């Protein structure tokens, strides 16, 4: 069993989630049950799945949950928020860069896990 808090990828995903929560706090109240909740759920899913993966007993299960986390790391909802002018272009670019970094880290981790298994 691994300690998820020791993983750099979890730390980056956690910080990204915190940013998404801060940014969506300013969204229109009409979006409270729409885009706001979708962005928050997608963002929170990444570190949550990483943490759950660390509680698994095999490399195969660990890789599976890391893959689920990678699948949740998407910038589609962020792009929509940008296109709707809920966030500025610069904010979108910064968040998109962070999402891509987390995805690269997860994919690298998955490749190492599956190469060993």
In a structure prediction context, what are the per-residue pLDDT tens digits for the chain, which is 117 residues long? 689 999 999 999 999 999 999 999 999 888 888 999 999 999 999 999 999 988 888 888 888 989 999 988 888 999 999 999 999 999 999 999 999 999 999 999 999 988 865
What gap in Å lies between CA 106 and CA 43, rounded to an integer?
14
Phi, psi of 39 (to 5 degrees): -65, -45
Q: Are 14 and 50 in contact (CB under 8 A)?
A: no
Structural domain boundaries enclosing 65: 4-116
Closest CA to 19 of 7, 8, 11, 29: 11
**Global pTM value:** 0.90
The residue assigned the tokens 């296109």 is 83
Total domains present in the chain: 1
Give me the CATH number covering residue 35: 1.20.1440.60
């Amino acid at each position: 069993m691994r300690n998820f808090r020791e993983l750099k990828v979890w730390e980056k995903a956690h910080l990204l989630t915190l940013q998404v929560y801060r940014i969506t706090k300013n969204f229109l109240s009409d979006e409270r049950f729409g885009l706001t909740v979708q962005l928050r759920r997608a963002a929170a899913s990444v570190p949550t799945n990483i943490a759950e993966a660390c509680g698994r007993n095999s490399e195969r299960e660990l890789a599976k949950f890391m893959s689920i986390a990678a699948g949740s790391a998407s910038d589609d909802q962020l792009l929509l928020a940008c296109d709707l002018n809920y966030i500025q272009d610069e904010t979108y670019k910064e968040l998109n860069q962070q999402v891509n970094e987390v995805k690269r880290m997860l994919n690298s981790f998955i490749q190492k896990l599956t190469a060993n298994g």
